[in-house]
Each structure stands twice: as structure tokens, then as C-alpha cells.
Amino acid sequence: MFTLKVFRKISDYEWEIPRTFRADMRVAVRIFMTRQLLEASLDDLSLEQAVNVATLPGVAGPVVVMPDMHQGYGFPIGGVAATEFPQGVISPGGIGYDINCGVRLLSSSIRLDDARPFLSDLAAALNANCPSGMGKAGPIGLKKGELEAVCRQGAEWAVKKGMGSLDDLRRTEENGCIDGADPRWVSERAMERGLNQLGTLGSGNHFMEVDVVDDIFDETAAQAMGLVKGCLVLQLHCGSRGLGHQICSDYVQSFQAAVRRFDFQLPDRELVCAPLDSQEGQRYLAAMRSAANFAFCNRQILAHMARQAFEQVLAGKVQKFQLRQVYDIAHNIAKIETHVIDGRRVKVCVHRKGATRAFGPGLAGLPEEYQSIGQPVLVPGSMGTSSWVLAGTHVSMERSYGSTCHGAGRVMSRSKAKREVRGDRLRDGLEKQGIHVRAGSLSGLAEEAPQAYKDVDDVVETVAGAGIARKVAQLRPVIVVKG
């Protein structure tokens, strides 16, 4: 379906599929990729999925795709779409099943050389403290009323219980709580699935990782974020667990009828949607925000348990074992924001599916210390490879609805990765590189092998080249904990 002739080249890092490419497109598709990455993306359905998104009713401007894009279901992973508020639509599939899947980064002044003798113990303590894998219950059994409070309050709920600080909240997207959450629109079944999963990492590509700051590209920004070359940091990647999965399932199912009611013609049933100002749209927004707040709280509690692990292992052995929050950011979410589209300031609903908010300097909502440098952007790499800390830019505000990439992006199916990679050999190879691995399942480890992903450095070079994020620091893993 796609050949390079389809694309209009804007720059070495930016391409466009014009609106005229398919009759049902309402807007163009803007692609942030090098030629090499673009050619590689022709072999799956991701570009077709991006074109499908461009047909959504009320889509306000170009659909944007990131260099880590890969095939998903409905929306491509690495896609951003802005729909007019409130007449445009919201599409649960454009946020995904793991609502507010995201990344949290904490910095330290622990030097790798000082911590090296204790890394194995630290890996064991993180693995023991932070429940991961399938079916693992969290440390906090909630009653329904408490879960409703988590859905309304987000990370603040955990901070009130002594699991973190106000500084953590300040350095979390939306201060760890999105307004407008209403658990009345979350099903009983979703609530039931959330009751025992708070404070759990989950499985799949979710992880906890200790990294060392390997390189600094922007001293001023790194200093503001507390990132010091040669010191340890902690990354957490997880989301809203079964609560979010069930909410998305419930609304994708119920929106099947909404699409008929509103007489929307869609190329894929996973793209079902409803106007933001409809009863269906409002209820989904309220439920989705509840799950987003659950996820912020989940990462807050996991960070607390990770801090306890650092204290258990490193207190008295290194000078300062404390972890300070750098930022916490969602990469599966819809947010109501204002952006300039075709020279007009427009209030829109930005769907980010496998894409990270990347607000530039001076934007409302950023903590004071990040006002001049832009919002921290956290880009985990594949297992065993670099991760990156970036900063949002003015260009991201102009070209990508204040968004950028979220990771490396898959290039190989999970079943192929499992056929080609042996989990035990992968673990041994990582251990030889000095990376301590704790994994619940060796086959799960194999599915997440580095060769199953794009090179995250290529992805980061692309967003930096396009100007939709700025490089701040490169991280190298020393401990990986996976479910």
C-alpha cells in the first residue's frame, strides 16, 4: 500500500502523507522519521493505522506519528491525534487498554562505584519489595471506598499515607491527579480488578530499572533535574493495571453502539469514538481519568517501596541513599489542551498513544525549576540498552501538539523474539555486561529482548534532529527487574 512516493518530504526528519492520499482522510499524517526509519516502517500496518486515525470525526489537525511508531490495534503505537473540544470525538482505543501507562524517574547522588558491591542485594530488595508479574497482589488491600478515593486523588492519596512527598507531586504530570475523574462511571468489574493491584508493576514490557547517568548533553537542564554523571537513577514503567484494562474494554464495547447512534463511518471498529460533549464521551473521560489517577498513585507507591529498598541495602554504606523525583509522565492518555493549529489557538483533546507530552519552556503546569528548561521527557530504551532523558521544546508545541516519542518501538513480534532468543542466554549475556537481572519469567524476558526493538538512540536522534525534544542525559542500565 505504501511506497516512498506517497510521502512528501518536509525535512530529513519530517514527512507527510497528504490528506488527498485517501478519500476518507480529514487531515494529513505528519511523520517524524529519518528515511531509514520510514523505510523500515513500511513493512507493517502502522502507517495504514495512522491514516485510519486521520478519518476520525472532529480531528483538528494533522495526525502525528513518532519515530518509535509500530503497529498496534486501531491507533498505531507512537501516534498523536488532536480532536476539537468539545464537538470532536474521544476514542478509547486512542489511549489504549493500559490507561496512563507511563514512566517515573528518580535521581540520586549515589555514585555507581560506591554502590557496585551492593547492586546484587539492591536488585534482590527491589524485586522483593515491588510485586511484579502476573497475578501478584499489591501490598495494599483496598476497600471500595478507598479505591474510589485513589481514583479521585491520584498520587496524593499515597502521599497522604506517608508514601512520598509534596515534591513528588509537584514533579508529576498534572501533579499526579487529573481533574474530572469520577469513579461512578467505572464499572464494578473494573473496580474489582483494581482492588488488590495498587502498588504492582505487572508483566509484559513493564519494568523497574536502576541506571547510571552515562552522559550529559545539557548541563543546565541536567542540574535542574538532579542528574549527575556517574550517579544512579531509578526508572519505573507501569500503568493502571486491570482497572484500566477493564475500563477500556468496557467503553470500546459500549462505544460500538455509540458509533451507530452518531452514524460515524470508521475504517476499524477499534477506533470507535463518541463526541466529547456526548453522555458517552463524558462518562468515558471521567472513567479514563479515574484510571489515570490510579496509575499515578500506583507509580507513587512503587517509588516508595523502591526507596525503602535503597534504604535497606545502602543506608550506612553510601553517603546519601535518598532518591529524589525527577518527573513522572504518562504515555497512554488523552488530555484537554490548547494548541495552535493553522494559526488558530484551539482547545483540543490530545490522544497520546505511546507518545509522551513534551511541553516546552514557559508552559503552565510545569514546576518552577523546569520553567526555563522545558518539561522532562523520559524515554526508556529496550532492556539492556540506553534510556534517555530529554526536554520539551517550543518546536514540539508547534509541530507535534507538545508531544514526542516514548521509547524504542518494536520491530519484531513477540513470538518471533521468543523463537530466536533464549531467555536464559539473554539473562546471562546481560549479567556479563554488568546488568543484574531479576525476571519472573525467562520466556517473558526473551520477548523483550533488545533485538525485538528499534535502536532507541536512532529514535532519540530523530526527535532531537526534528527539534521536538532536546537531549539532556543518556542512562545505562545496571539493574533490571521485570515481571
Partner 1 sequence: MKKQNSSGFREIEHKADRAIEAWAPDLQGLFVQAAAGMHTLMGIEMLPGPMVTHQLLLEALDRESLLVSFLSELLYLIETRSLACEVADFQFSETALRAHLVAKPILKMQRQIKAVTFHNLEIKNESGLLSVTLIFDV
Residues near partner 1, by CB under 8 A? 44, 70-74, 77, 93, 96-98, 134-135, 189, 192-193, 202-204, 242, 245-246, 248-249, 252-253, 256-257, 260, 268-270, 272, 410-416, 441, 443-444
Residue 315 CB, shortest distance to partner 1, in Å, is 35
Q: How is residue 197 annotated by DSSP?
A: T
The gap between the terminal CA atoms of the chain, to the nearest Å, is 38
Helices 144-153 and 279-314 meet at what angle, rounded to 10? 90
Measured between alpha carbons, how far is 67 from 69 in angstroms, rounded to an integer?
Answer: 5
DSSP 331: S
Shortest Cβ 410–partner 1 spacing (Å) = 5
Kindly tell me which of 201 and 301 has the beta carbon lying closer to partner 1: 201
Closest to partner 1 by CB, 98 vs 211, is: 98
How far are the Cα atoms of 286, 337, 367, 477 from residue 327, in angstroms, in the given order?
24, 20, 10, 18
The answer to whether residue 237 is catalytic is: no
Q: What angle do CA 161, 162, 163 make, to 5 degrees?
A: 95
Q: What is the residue type of 197?
A: Q
As beta bridge partners, residue 9 has 15
Q: For residues 112 and 334, which CB has a smaller minimum distance to partner 1 in the complex?
A: 334
Residue placing its CB nearer to partner 1 in the complex, 220 or 443: 443
User: How many Å apart are CA 269 and CA 266, to the nearest integer?
Assistant: 7
Cβ at position 249, least distance to partner 1 in Å: 5
The least distance separating partner 1 from the CB of residue 45, rounded to whole angstroms, comes to 9
As measured in angstroms, the least distance from the Cβ of 196 to partner 1 is: 9
Check 245, 351, 406, 436 and give the catalytic one. Answer: 406
The whole-angstrom separation of Cα 180 and Cα 173 is 15
Rounded to the nearest whole angstrom, what is the least distance from the CB of residue 148 to partner 1 in the complex? 19
**Rama region for 408: left / alpha / beta (φ>0; ψ in -120 to 50; rest):** alpha
Residue 473's nearest CA partner among 105, 127, 217, 92 is 217
CB nearer partner 1, residue 120 or residue 441: 441
Give the H/E segment covering residue 340: strand 332-341
User: For residues 405 and 394, what is the distance between their CA atoms, to the nearest angstrom?
Assistant: 16
Q: What are the residue numbers of the active site?
A: 406
